[in-house]
Structure 1
Amino acid sequence: MKGLKHTLIALGIAGVPAMAMADIQMLDDSAMGNITGQVGVTIELETRLNIDRFLYTDEGTLEINDISVGGTNRVDMFSEMGTNLTGAAPSDLLDNIRINIDIASDGDAIINILPMTFGAVDMRISTGAWNLVGDSNSTTIMDNFHMDALIGSGTLRVDTATDVLSFRADIAIDDMDFEVPFLALGIEDLRLTGADYDLDAPQPLDVFTRVEMGIYKTANSQGISSLAIEIPEFEADMSIGSVIVGGTSIGSIFMDDLAIRDTQMIIYGH
């Protein structure tokens, strides 16, 4: 078999015309450096994530139980529009995601997240109890968290000139529920949409609110390098279908044109 392979290779070389062989030139290191492959990498993603328990421990512990991330398995999100906004079949998987990864000529890394089919990516996040646990006592600060959301698009960019990680996403929350047991408080049917979204004349592009963040290194008040998160502007409409206090609904809440601007957080240990 090895002899046959060698014979075929020899025949192939012999079949190349002498004139063509004369035109073949070896590339030097400089020429090789100018050769690039196909532009970017694309990943098509389909997944479901489950974590039984997440622990953050300082002197005490924050414990989050039964974390689940997947698809909503729904076609009726923002049902007032009367259409399947995902453009895909219902599934409990986080899917319909295309991730494009590119390195620009200036060295910037760009990750662009888009739906594979026309529409949006649906996502469900749910958890069990969030507990604060000490040596002898514990408190449940949140329980039965559930969120159904749409992601229109997302972009991550690492800027080599400024060393800033920029994040941008278009999101809409159709339904969020959670309980705060130690305050006897519950939130049901929370919705978050774009500030221009009109329930009487709903438009798919208006349903999304844009979230933008800049993440980078900066000095804190003591001159120590710290993590900075900057939110230049955030605008949305938010409604809460029912506020539960002591097991009884006390009414609903609507915030029109909620705006948060010029926000910066600096995070460091102590």
Structure 2
Amino acid sequence: MTGLQRTALCLPLLVIPPCTLADIEALDDKSLSQVTGQSGVTIELATRIDLDRFSYIDEGSLSIYDLSLSDPDGSAMDNMELTVDVAGDGEVLEHGFSEMARRANAGQLDTGNPDVADALARYAVGGSFGKQFNAGDAVIHLGPIDSGDPTSLDDYLHSVDFALDIGAVKAEGPVDSTTMFSNIHLEGYLGPTDIVIRNAGDSTRTLANGDTVSDSELQLDTHFEITDGSLDWDVADVILLFNFAAVGIEGLQVHNRWGEDTAGHFGMASATARLSQGTSGRSGHEGLSIHNVEFRADIDMPVFKVGGTSIGTIQFEDFVISNTNMMVYGH
């Protein structure tokens, strides 16, 4: 088998003219370090995802039934563009709302708008627009293919719409099962989303809680808005304090327009997390560290039902989860 592989590899060289071979030179490490794919890869994406059942199984199971992610009309999500790059040292690549900074710099957007001003200050880097990365960082940025009128913020923010449906979330044992949530439906818009794999070798750092984590980590940053949502909250505890059994929510909206810290989010909710290998500072266990977690949103529930009867409206302003770190390991 080895001999066949070597023959196959040699055949293409036999058909190359000798004069061409004479021009081929081996590159040393210094020369190779200068060879970079600076243009990156762009992927235009359309997709619909359907899943009958997803389960985590131990003695019992926790299952998600009948999940679908699509366009609100049921067709594939579209108008999505992924840019994939491996950064050079100090290279500035697309990240977050850097497109808004680019437009502001070109005079297409009003810099008197606090969101636009924040984007310009945050993402303008030495004549480029984005975020500066280290050599070898893998950077994936999701944005729209067509964002409409370049002077319109609404066109950009509403370029990628989606619908998420989940039939039920159940806790299941050998005999009985309990439905925790059911009839989940969410519609809204997906904003700029970034996945970065930081290349930091074997270096580590210690978090404020004492956990030691790798500097080579996966970084997730996303913005989104829920414009209409509904669900039945059958049996579930919230932050181990409140049991919302027999609750129904209609007209759910999740955004970031009401509170004090809204600048830079363009009215969208945001979520951030970092994932890497880690060691707990308390137990010494090694596992998956999920750290620097932050969720920021305003939440509006115009129809809040208990036992099928509306009891009024519930609103959360400046709902923020921050300073959150988790170490996940088996037992």
TM-score range, shorter chain: 0.7 to 0.9
Give how far 1:174 is off: 0.8
**Residue of structure 1 equivalent to 2:57:** 57
Are 2:263 and 1:212 equivalent residues in the alignment? no
- 1:1-270 equivalences under 5 Å are 25-30=23-28, 33=32, 34-37=34-37, 39-73=39-73, 92-105=75-88, 106-118=135-147, 119=156, 120-161=159-200, 162-182=215-235, 183-196=245-258, 206-220=266-280, 221-231=282-292, 233-270=294-331
- The answer to whether the Cα contact below 8 Å between 2:218 and 2:274 also exists between their aligned partners in 1 is yes
CA displacement, residues 100-146 of structure 1 (integer Å, 9 cap, x when unaligned): 11001211100011111112311111011222211111111111011
Give how far 1:185 is off: 1.3
User: Structure 2 CA distance, aligned partners of 1:258 and 1:64?
Assistant: 26
State the one-letter code of the partner of 2:273. Answer: M
Identity across matched positions, percent: 32
User: Structure 2 CA distance, aligned partners of 1:148 and 1:180?
Assistant: 18
Give how far 1:196 is off: 4.5
Larger of the two Rg values belongs to structure: 1
Normalised to the residue count of structure 1, the TM-score between the two structures is 0.77
- The answer to whether the Cα contact below 8 Å between 1:164 and 1:214 also exists between their aligned partners in 2 is yes
**Unaligned segments of structure 2, at least 5 residues:** 1-16, 89-134, 148-155, 201-214, 236-244
- The answer to whether the Cα contact below 8 Å between 2:259 and 2:318 also exists between their aligned partners in 1 is no
- The answer to whether the Cα contact below 8 Å between 1:197 and 1:207 also exists between their aligned partners in 2 is no
SS at structure 2 position matched to 1:43? strand
User: Structure 2 CA distance, aligned partners of 1:269 and 1:244?
Assistant: 38
State the one-letter code of the partner of 2:309. Answer: T
Cα separation, partners in 2 of 1:233 and 1:49, compared to 1, 3 Å: closer
**Unaligned segments of structure 1, at least 5 residues:** 1-12, 14-20, 74-90, 199-204
User: Structure 1 CA distance, aligned partners of 2:165 and 2:65?
Assistant: 10
Cα separation, partners in 2 of 1:231 and 1:268, compared to 1, 3 Å: same
Give how far 1:36 is off: 4.3
SS at structure 2 position matched to 1:140? strand
Give how far 1:155 is off: 0.7
Give how far 1:235 is off: 2.8
205-214 or 161-170, which deviates more:
205-214
State the one-letter code of the partner of 2:269. Answer: T
- The answer to whether the Cα contact below 8 Å between 1:238 and 1:256 also exists between their aligned partners in 2 is yes
| Paired positions, count | 229
SS at structure 1 position matched to 2:266? helix
Normalised to the residue count of structure 2, the TM-score between the two structures is 0.63
User: Structure 1 CA distance, aligned partners of 2:322 and 2:172?
Assistant: 35
- The answer to whether the Cα contact below 8 Å between 1:197 and 1:206 also exists between their aligned partners in 2 is no
Give how far 1:92 is off: 2.4
Cα separation, partners in 2 of 1:194 and 1:159, compared to 1, 3 Å: same
User: Structure 2 CA distance, aligned partners of 1:157 and 1:42?
Assistant: 16
